[in-house]
Structure 1
Amino acid sequence: MTDSPIWHPFTQHGLGEPIPLVTHAEGATLFTRDGRRIVDAISSWWVTTHGHAHPRIGAAIAEQAGRLDQIIFAGWTHEPAEAVARDLIAIMPPELTRVFFSDSGSTSVEVALKMALGYWLHRGEPRHRILVLEHGYHGDTIGAMSIGARGAFNRAYQPLLFDVATIPFPAAGREQATLDALAAALRESPAALVVEPLIVGAGGMLTYPAWVLAEMRRLCADAGVLFIADEVMTGWGRTGTLLACEQAGVVPDILCLSKGLTGGAVPLAVTMAIEPIYQAHHAADRSRMFFHSSSYTANPIACAAAAANLAIWREEPVRERIASLADRQRTRLAALAQTPGVANPRQLGTIAAVDLPGGDGGYLSKRSPRLLAFFRERGLLLRPLGTTVYVMPPYCIGDNDLDAIYAAIAEAAAL
């Protein structure tokens, strides 16, 4: 599409790349105005779980839109929000007793940071230092950028970002160095550690073992430091379990969820917290209330979509679909790993990734736009992270479309 006034995210319009206009979608497929069929191999930025235009979620949205579209959530409530909160409490670890609504993954992380700082302030021992894991990405608002990796994503905004202490990524063979660095940092009594459990997403789909996550959690608990799990990308089955933390037997103090919360249909996020964090803000003193909101907090239409998504998880064999997709990906990834030019094949649940040669410049690799164009021309929505190509499709994707995805990646390795 050309001559549009729209300024698109993460898009360099100066390159003159085509921007297809998508007219409708179904399942794992997008359809464009010029009649093309596009396989959504990345769940439209990791959000679409059960498939596009899911009838149960769509019906819930339509019904709610005709009943109650919006209401202030400060001091008011509505049944869709109450239903989502009840259903989340039922499906998530029981230690997470409180549900705070927001609008996106970035804001769920901002909320988590503010909860953590408020907790320590109201306990009478204010702490401000935040520990983060190397290569992390937590969103594009100021707080979320501050705790993410510094580089192309946020270089222009450096003067606005607060300092954090960075723990080295637990790469294979260097796990103990990560744990030693964390133990040393914890001696300074920080407020919290923020991690993406088991896999660092935008930082390159880098995986680390569950035992390291469990040990990081133990170290924080022993030191009395809050543990924040950013499961915005990893939640809702992407890693093979409802939460990635499950695989390590870990329950965080604060949990961030978004993306698949509504099945990917509309924006919504929650930040869940253990009871002591809520109680630290609970008082007759109004100055201790939690000062965070947006106009659309717990929007009823979005909550109706989330309630429908939670019903799908309760009533349909979602976990079996996830296991099937993981198995089907595993078979194809093993074959792709034999292709010349394909390096570091890795998989966690329904997420698979490989590195292709020519990885100069990281995310801004000169090869990345060529790869993006190559996949687009073959009817695939694949968006490489530099020269890391990952596959994270909706759980309903068929075998023929998976075959097309992996065949195209093998072909791209020879470019």
Structure 2
Amino acid sequence: MSQSDILFDYKHIWHPYSSIINPLPCYSVISAKGVYLKLKNGKNIIDGMSSWWSAIHGYNHPILNKSLKKQIKKISHVMFGGITHPSAILLCRKLIKLTPKKLDCIFLSDSGSISIEVAIKMLMQYWESLGQNRTKILTIRNSYHGDTFGAMSISDPDNSIHHIYKKFLPKHLFAHAPVSNFNQEWNSNDIISFQTIIEENQFNIAGVILEPIVQGVGGMKFYHPIFLKKVEELCKYYSIPLVFDEIATGFGRTGKFFAFQHANVVPDILCLGKAMTGGTLTLAATLTSRKIANTISKSDVGCFMHGPTYMGNPLACSAAHANIKILEKNEWKKQVINIEKELLNSLSPLIDHPRVIDVRVLGAIGVVECKQHVNLELIQNFFVKNGVWIRPFKQLIYIVPPYIISMNNLKKLVNVIKKSLNENVLFI
């Protein structure tokens, strides 16, 4: 990659959440293997982000690569309208086997945000098929579900990254987020706001959508499993479908294969993405019950009205199937337990640092919440110079490393975070 390439990127290519006039610096990655990203200058840095939660087995995994090479010799893509193929069938068999028995109908799509759009459409068509005009979604504050318009509309309208679009979005219902942390005592007041809203709007609510246990971009909060249990009870009582957004948390990240398993609850619709292909290709899935699927299919329209061009992409399905086969060996459980132990041991003492408000650890997720926002450009440069890739946001420095990370590399990630906290220039 030449200097002219870098300049071209700087002038012409938009990166996530960045300005085209004054973009944040980008670091050129020319290859990756295991937990390492190799930069243009030849330096290897440890990826503490799993490429935004997705590369759970690291990079260039031989089993994933083999599945892609084998599939591309057969067919890389074919339309899913009126056509099926072995990769999609094999993947969907695996997904049905892994998820609760209730969830036996699957819609494949391109990305996590689209899987949320699909879930919202399912809810709207479900009630339309029943002759009821229900258009409101109930969720909680600090939620984040993606960057497309439907997903934005059910993300926190005031405290999320989407507030600038507020005037364009439909208004949904937001209960207070629970304050009881995952490992602390349950506060029964946490459910009051949610219960009040669902009681007062029971005939207008099409569905409830939540990020189970972990609220991601909304603050990396880990809430109490009893909250999910109470929500499920209320949804059952009022016959309102419950949707879980497991896009970030699915496939082992929290120590359970799915985060909702911490509460022993089952949704009516489940959204999956990110780690589904092990960080190789983009793919997502929305699973639902036979009851919801049949109700939609019996409507006047007679079908579910959605169909992405790359739906059921054979390459992505093949990678996802291989990824799940790796997970089925159950090595991930020990890996995530070891990561959690190390993060608890090494991150927890930072709670006493004068710059830190809170430290949170769950499974292979470690969060340091600071009193000040980070200067993203400067702290990113600091991390790279110190041999790690960590992408903070606002006042949160967090890591979600690949499951295969060694304890030495994990300790290095934590030590660089500790070092950063003592650099005043990195905080605003």
Output one character per residue of 1:197-222: Cα deviation in whole Å (capped at 9) or x when no partner. Answer: 11100111011111111111111111
1:67 CA displacement = 0.1
Q: 1:198 aligns with which of 201, 210, 213?
A: 213
The reply on whether 1:406 has 2:421 as its aligned counterpart is: no
Q: 1:105 aligns with which of 105, 112, 123?
A: 112
2:332 alignment partner in structure 1: 318
1:48 alignment partner in structure 2: 55
Q: Amino acid of the residue matched to residue 203 of structure 1?
A: G
1:78 CA displacement = 0.4
The reply on whether 1:287 has 2:294 as its aligned counterpart is: no
Alignment of 1:10-409 (within 5 A): 10-151=17-158, 153-172=161-180, 175-187=187-199, 188-189=201-202, 190-283=205-298, 287-359=301-373, 367-409=375-417
Any idea what SS the aligned residue of 1:296 has? coil
Any idea what SS the aligned residue of 2:341 has? helix
Any idea what SS the aligned residue of 1:100 has? strand
Q: Which moved more, 1:143-152 or 1:95-104?
A: 143-152
Assess if the C-alpha contact under 8 Å between 2:111 and 2:282 holds in 1.
yes
Output one character per residue of 1:367-400: Cα deviation in whole Å (capped at 9) or x when no partner. Answer: 3433233223222211112111111100011122
1:90 CA displacement = 0.8
1:176 CA displacement = 3.6
In structure 2, how many angstroms separate the alpha carbons of the residues matched to 1:219 and 1:92?
22
Q: Amino acid of the residue matched to residue 336 of structure 1?
A: L
In structure 1, how many angstroms separate the alpha carbons of the residues matched to 2:186 and 2:22?
40
Output one character per residue of 1:316-356: Cα deviation in whole Å (capped at 9) or x when no partner. Answer: 52222222222222211223334442221111111110112
In structure 2, how many angstroms separate the alpha carbons of the residues matched to 1:171 and 1:76?
48
In structure 1, how many angstroms separate the alpha carbons of the residues matched to 2:143 and 2:270?
16
In structure 2, how many angstroms separate the alpha carbons of the residues matched to 1:217 and 1:20?
44
Q: Amino acid of the residue matched to residue 372 of structure 1?
A: Q
In structure 2, how many angstroms separate the alpha carbons of the residues matched to 1:174 and 1:161?
34
In structure 1, how many angstroms separate the alpha carbons of the residues matched to 2:225 and 2:31?
39
Any idea what SS the aligned residue of 2:328 has? helix
1:258 CA displacement = 0.3
In structure 1, how many angstroms separate the alpha carbons of the residues matched to 2:317 and 2:194?
38
In structure 2, how many angstroms separate the alpha carbons of the residues matched to 1:371 and 1:223?
48
Q: Amino acid of the residue matched to residue 136 of structure 1?
A: S
Output one character per residue of 1:204-246: Cα deviation in whole Å (capped at 9) or x when no partner. Answer: 1011111111111111111111111000001111111000000
In structure 2, how many angstroms separate the alpha carbons of the residues matched to 1:15 and 1:405?
29
Assess if the C-alpha contact under 8 Å between 1:134 and 1:149 holds in 2.
yes
Q: Which moved more, 1:4-13 or 1:84-93?
A: 4-13
Q: Amino acid of the residue matched to residue 121 of structure 1?
A: E
Amino-acid identity (%) = 33
In structure 1, how many angstroms separate the alpha carbons of the residues matched to 2:194 and 2:406?
43
In structure 1, how many angstroms separate the alpha carbons of the residues matched to 2:372 and 2:352?
18
In structure 1, how many angstroms separate the alpha carbons of the residues matched to 2:398 and 2:252?
16
In structure 2, how many angstroms separate the alpha carbons of the residues matched to 1:155 and 1:343?
25
1:409 CA displacement = 1.1
Q: Amino acid of the residue matched to residue 127 of structure 1?
A: R
Assess if the C-alpha contact under 8 Å between 1:175 and 1:212 holds in 2.
no
Please, what is the CA RMSD of the aligned residues?
1.7
In structure 2, how many angstroms separate the alpha carbons of the residues matched to 1:192 and 1:178?
20
TM-score, scaled to structure 1: 0.94
Output one character per residue of 1:58-112: Cα deviation in whole Å (capped at 9) or x when no partner. Answer: 1101110110111111221100000001011111111111111001000000000
Any idea what SS the aligned residue of 1:2 has? helix
In structure 1, how many angstroms separate the alpha carbons of the residues matched to 2:156 and 2:118?
19
